[in-house]
Structure 1
Amino acid sequence: MVSHLPEGWLQQWTTIMGIERGQLTSVLEDIAGMAGVLLEADYERATLAMRDLSTSEALAAVTQQAASLQMQPDPHLPLPEQLIDLQVRILRASVQSLGYSAATAQRILLAHEPNIAHTVRILRDGDLHSRFWFWLDRFYFEVYRPWRATRLSMMDELRKKAMTALGGADRGQTPPDLSWLPAQNPALRTMARTAIEQGQLQLCLWVDPFQLFDSWTIQPGMLIVSFAEPGRLYENFREQIHSVAERTNALADPTRLTILRMIRHFDMVNTDIADYLQLARPTVSIHAKILREAGLIRSHQEGRMVRHELVAAEVRRLFRDLEKVLDLPPETDA
């Protein structure tokens, strides 16, 4: 779908919001949850309620949601900060209820907290209200809705699959059978599954047009998950993991790290490296081949000698890719 966006739209989104495009869904979920339209399928009905919501009305709605968790707003904070603080506390409790450790819950909070802060700015009395809704309306009517129409048959198949697996729409109080969900689905985490099967947590299956298999969001008392079978997105992720692992493995050897540093500083050929490290030249050739296949060095023939060059940009890219794959939190002073 991103390929269908007019030139400059993604940059416009980043300029307006100051956050990455992948966070759009999270921001909309937060506002929809406060407006009570999280499960509303009609765009106009949902967004009318969302764009009409003020900060005080949002705080009242969130306070009502927080009551089940025995939480209250902090009256010592200004109104917008009360809303942000209460939402963060609700999210922390909800994430930990799924069985995530305190450290993982904190990582999720660090990633989500900027979205919550931007949510306040989009409310009716926020400084981004008009610009945001103008951008979103254009995006929905000119890009998303036409693209979504091409996905309807796939979504209908997903809906039928879920209905068949669950035994129909009217199931009474019978605990749902979750065994058909993809193994990666968040609803299958031990604590989440137990809470769902015991009726302590309501499960909502999201029929999404993106064929996501592990997307989720949580509200007090409700877990919302996508449930498509792992497809190309999952395959791309596995390919990325494989690429990062292979390139990291090229560095996971003291000899190869030493060779990289020597290449960087002394412009050595295989013979020089072999003499310096007291290795056989074929051994140096094997190490160089591993580094070259990982894209970390370039090699060229000079007569009977092979000279190597460090590709600094690829070394830096490897560490960026590794950080992305591990989804590391931002650095702190601690």
Structure 2
Amino acid sequence: MTEGIFLILLVVFLALIFDFINGFHDTANAVATSIATGALSPRTAIILASFLNLLGALAFTGVAHTIGEGIANPTHLNNGLYVVLAAVLSAIGWNLLTWYLGLPSSSSHALIGSLAGALAGAAGWDAVNLLGLLIIIKVLIISPLLAVALGFLMMSAIRLLLSFLSSAKTEFYFKKMQVVTASFQAFSHGTNDAQKTMGVITFALVAGGLQQDFCIPLWVKLSAAIAMAAGTAVGGWRIIQTVSRGITPLYPSGGFSADLSSAGIIIGATILHLPLSTTHVISSSIIGVGLSKGLTNINWQTVSAIISAWVITLPVSIILGAVICRVIMLL
């Protein structure tokens, strides 16, 4: 077995490990609100999220192309396999650390930052498509702000509606409707997050010379989708606790608003082939829902911890990716 084939197999294995970790790290994104409001039991919510994550992951490939081709051209790299190996190791390490701490940080930030850092570590910043990277970073920054605004507006409109109706009866119906929005949430999560791993694996296949163009093979789609669904089935209970109860008290109408606003943003980004942080979008929509009821309705200690993780993830993963890549190349 040549070194190149061995490295490709290692990258594929580690990328699927990352996808599995991404699944249980980000399970909170798809199920936290429905668990918090009692719309779904934890077991039912995770089973539903696993299945719909799988379907969502198989439905699109545009984001995979953006991740795999938007930051660098794999055919122009001499050390492309080392770059992907370092990026995946860096992203796995950061995901495990933030999962252990119970912080809903962004797997997308970790992977994109690690990939950019590893590229810079291997061939300098000239190898990085800075324009493509900046577009991705802009989306990562703008999407949470949009989610806060949309969650706030949707919940404010619903609160206005509730003022004219029986609150208890209306919340009962929102609880039923939240099963639909939670399903939409889980599907949209799969359409964006699993594609990032598909892009990384295909990047490695092109860089390693096993294929010439950036066409996502069927086995890559299936393996990435199954790995994420399996990770989702395991459940990241530490982060579920933070997102479902740590940000703001949630009622069915609030859970409905958060699910619908964030899922709409995620599926819109997927259609536009733009990778975003599902973690940021969903947490931000919950913050927007809480803000509609006043500043005192937000647990600012939890929110500040989440924001801190958001702020440091990208620069830390860039540095970590670069360092790991340099070490691998030296070895």
Place the TM-score, normalised by the shorter chain, in its bin.
under 0.3
Q: Which of structures 1 and 2 has the larger relative contact order (alpha carbons within 8 angstroms, sep 6+)?
A: 2
- With normalisation by structure 2, the TM-score equals 0.23
Max radius of gyration: which structure?
Answer: 1
Q: Which has the higher helix share?
A: 2
- With normalisation by structure 1, the TM-score equals 0.23
